[in-house]
Structure 1
Amino acid sequence: MENIQFSTQIIVGEDALQSLENVKEKRVFIVTDPFMAENGMVEQVTTYLNQYHVFSDIVPDLPLDKIVSGIKEMESFQSEVIVAIGGGSAIDAAKAMKYFGQKTMDLLTEQFIAIPTTSGTGSEVTNFSVITISELGLKIPLVTDKIQPDVAILDTGLVMSVPPKITADTGIDVLTHVIESYVSTEANGVADALCEKVVALVFEYLERAYKNGQDKEAREQMHLASCMAGMAFNSTSLGLNHGIAHAAGARLHVPHGRINGILLPEVIAYNSGLGNGQVTEVEVAERYAALANCISNTQTKNPRLGVQNLIRLIKQLREKLDMPATLSEYGLSSKEVLSHEEAIATSALADGCTRTNPRQADEKGVRAILKAIL
């Protein structure tokens, strides 16, 4: 039996922000980052509100003390509605504040609205949040329906000014989401359809959005792709790629999309058992081959050729986006990476995303992947 649900209302279009008038008379707690607060982006939201309080003490890899500060301000303001505007950090922070605010201080929220300003995490339609415990060098996924946004507002105008490097990182995160969702042990037909559509959108529009941020069609399609990817992995979870990315990102401080892009070809090779001219995990390889056929002019039913084609296409896209292929290209030394090898392997295997990886991962496998991306 499969239980598939999409409980978030999605509002799309140039006038999507006007839907905020539905909460105009409520006390709205806005969670965002300093850049959004300073560049006038938040004013596009507050113009529809009468009573609001802005919490902008948000940083990447948000530590617990920031979440605690936010909860205290929510209580003081007597918030009725939460609106998160920003990238994954802001939306994940709002999710954590909502969850722990209710758990620790019995703070109840009438509505939770997410407004993404990057096209990558899909966090606006998922019940996932990632919490960082800095002193332990850990990123811990929080997964519960209690943090699922009630409404997601997709306004393309909010992503037109995203810088090229962030466009690339977030776009590769979208690609990683659907590839992992498609081969997840919890894969289902509905998510499959979303993944097949999204992978085609990424290969058609990501490079265009990266090279010309004012390409409105490319921005619209990538924003939609990000949301659809979130819908897919919200019902399937992810895999080892994200498990390692969470663990390595927390210790090596590599941006999430960038570490995903470095890992992706090697994790695909590992999951399919690619080596010595063959694949040992045939069913997984067949799934990867099916995705490759969604984006390639070269169609094949041969699992090995399909896997090799998918890896080749990903590497070509990564190069077009001027993204590093290894951690050394990113600027990290082998010594620094290997000093964290054991901790990364342990954390990756314990990560909730790794549970649904199509191949049972072990410490030896994770260490081999890390060495391959040095």
Structure 2
Amino acid sequence: MTRYNSFFPKTEIVFGPGLLERLQDFRGQRIGIVTDTFMASSGALERVRSYLDGCEVEVFAEAVPESPLDTVSAGARQFGAFAPDVLIGLGGGSPIDAAKAMLAILREMAPERRIRLVAIPTTSGTGSEVTAFAVVSDPAKGRKFPLISSELVSDIALLDPELVRSALAGVTADTGMDVITHAVEAVVSTGATHFSDACAEKALELAFAFLPRAFDDGDDMEARDAMHQGSCLAGLAFTAAGLGINHGMAHALGAQMHMVHGRSNALLLPYLIAWNAELPATARRYARIARNLGLDVPSTRAGVRALIREIEKLNAHLGMPATLQAAGCDLTELSRRRPEIAAAAMADACTASNPRKPRQDELEDLLAQIAGHA
């Protein structure tokens, strides 16, 4: 059978003034909302509920980072009894991912029932509002793993930059570097196409221009809006193209060393660009990114170096650590767990579309290099 590519953005993406009015189309329906305690107390939940007049609403506000399996199961039981017509994920990547995972269970429980998924992101990072991915964890086994299915893609995404205004500078930095990592990995992924490249390259243009502004001034709404849309574009890109070893290693470090995901990605990215760029075709793609960003690219290798320097410069502006030691990792524990971390990264679903195929010993060597030993 001949292989072919496809680009199928399933999600209706809503942006611009008054966008939450789109929720009024669900008048009279049963609405389940998955969020966390912060969103429930910050006013964001009530703002969303104010557009749900005439709806019966049930709220699960116990989503936590990394979407543990126990939390997902508890939410699925609650909504299984409620039988919603629409499930809304409100928050950062964790509540949205939890909503996706709960929805997968609900559809298994009642396959005849059509439940629509609406995502309202309150951070500009994961792109989860348009992706086919949901990251869940099993804390008892120290594992974090992505679910991947077209059934996890939301029907509607509401991109309201006002919901991101209150994000702290550190959160803005972590999530913003996640956007950049998504887009860079999508460009060099084995599944990249002209369609995914168009989304990824626009996301990078927006992120490099507006992430420093959003970090420096959280009330800069032009920057907030640009980052929110850039995050969504990067999500479209990597859903179509795939990710790579940067995310595979970040997931493993998150599970084993409890590192913040966006910070792990930011720290790893310069090292893994250099490692992947040993492949000439991949190096040319990195150089293309550098050229699109307006950097000096007299040659392919110079373009790769320019891109790495630009990312290191941005990391420094955002206060990102340059080594795992600087990030607070216990180097003794890291050394002990290095084979386990490398094995988990090898097995991660994101690693499959990395352009350069790693061996476990190579990943262990990279971890030692990134650790920050004297």
What is the TM-score of this pair, normalised by structure 1? 0.96
Q: C-alpha distance in 2, partners of 1:109/1:369?
A: 46
SS of the equivalent of 1:269 reads helix
Q: C-alpha distance in 2, partners of 1:52/1:227?
A: 27
Give the aligned partner of residue 36 of structure 1: 39
**For residues 284-316 of structure 1, what are the alpha-carbon distances to aligned partners after superposition, in whole Å with 9 as ceiling and x for unaligned?**
10100100111134133x221111111100000
Q: C-alpha distance in 1, partners of 2:78/2:160?
A: 27
Q: C-alpha distance in 2, partners of 1:340/1:104?
A: 38
Look up the equivalent residue of 1:4 and give its one-letter code: F
Q: C-alpha distance in 2, partners of 1:341/1:272?
A: 23
User: What displacement does 1:68 show?
Assistant: 0.7
Shift of the 104–12 alpha-carbon distance from structure 1 to 2, 3 Å rule, reads same
SS of the equivalent of 2:231 reads helix
Question: How do 1:325-340 and structure 2 match up within 5 A?
Answer: 325-340=322-337
Look up the equivalent residue of 1:30 and give its one-letter code: I
Is 1:343 the counterpart of 2:346? The answer is: no
SS of the equivalent of 2:326 reads helix
Give the aligned partner of residue 282 of structure 1: 280
Contact 1:55 1:70 in 2 (8 A): yes
Contact 1:86 1:117 in 2 (8 A): yes
Q: C-alpha distance in 2, partners of 1:229/1:154?
A: 14
Contact 2:190 2:241 in 1 (8 A): yes
Q: C-alpha distance in 2, partners of 1:105/1:81?
A: 14
Paired residues in the alignment total: 366
Contact 1:24 1:51 in 2 (8 A): no
Give the aligned partner of residue 318 of structure 2: 321
Question: How do 1:132-147 and structure 2 match up within 5 A?
Answer: 132-147=137-152
SS of the equivalent of 1:248 reads helix
Question: How do 1:256-335 and structure 2 match up within 5 A?
Answer: 256-273=261-278, 281-300=279-298, 302-335=299-332
**For residues 8-51 of structure 1, what are the alpha-carbon distances to aligned partners after superposition, in whole Å with 9 as ceiling and x for unaligned?**
00010121111000112111000001100011110111011131
Contact 1:14 1:156 in 2 (8 A): no
Farther-moved stretch of structure 1 (360-369 vs 36-45): 360-369
SS of the equivalent of 1:203 reads helix
Contact 1:202 1:222 in 2 (8 A): yes
Question: How do 1:164-243 and structure 2 match up within 5 A?
Answer: 164-243=169-248
SS of the equivalent of 1:29 reads strand
Look up the equivalent residue of 2:363 and give its one-letter code: V
Is 1:26 the counterpart of 2:29? The answer is: yes
Q: C-alpha distance in 1, partners of 2:112/2:368?
A: 46
What is the TM-score of this pair, normalised by structure 2? 0.96
Shift of the 365–35 alpha-carbon distance from structure 1 to 2, 3 Å rule, reads same
Look up the equivalent residue of 2:142 and give its one-letter code: G
Look up the equivalent residue of 2:293 and give its one-letter code: I
**For residues 241-262 of structure 1, what are the alpha-carbon distances to aligned partners after superposition, in whole Å with 9 as ceiling and x for unaligned?**
0001111111111111000011
Is 1:373 the counterpart of 2:370? The answer is: yes
Q: C-alpha distance in 1, partners of 2:334/2:141?
A: 16
User: What displacement does 1:107 show?
Assistant: 7.7
Q: C-alpha distance in 2, partners of 1:325/1:355?
A: 26
Look up the equivalent residue of 2:8 and give its one-letter code: Q
Cα RMSD (Å): 1.1
Farther-moved stretch of structure 1 (133-142 vs 149-158): 133-142
Give the aligned partner of residue 65 of structure 2: 60
**Structure 1 unaligned spans of 5+:** 274-280
Contact 1:79 1:109 in 2 (8 A): no
SS of the equivalent of 1:62 reads coil
**Structure 2 unaligned spans of 5+:** none
Contact 1:349 1:361 in 2 (8 A): yes
Look up the equivalent residue of 1:310 and give its one-letter code: L
Select which of 103, 117, 127 maps to 1:122: 127
Contact 1:75 1:107 in 2 (8 A): no
Look up the equivalent residue of 1:286 and give its one-letter code: R
Give the aligned partner of residue 276 of structure 1: none
SS of the equivalent of 2:119 reads strand
Give the aligned partner of residue 158 of structure 1: 163
Q: C-alpha distance in 2, partners of 1:283/1:370?
A: 25
Q: C-alpha distance in 2, partners of 1:293/1:348?
A: 30
SS of the equivalent of 1:124 reads coil
SS of the equivalent of 1:161 reads coil
SS of the equivalent of 1:340 reads helix
Is 1:45 the counterpart of 2:43? The answer is: no
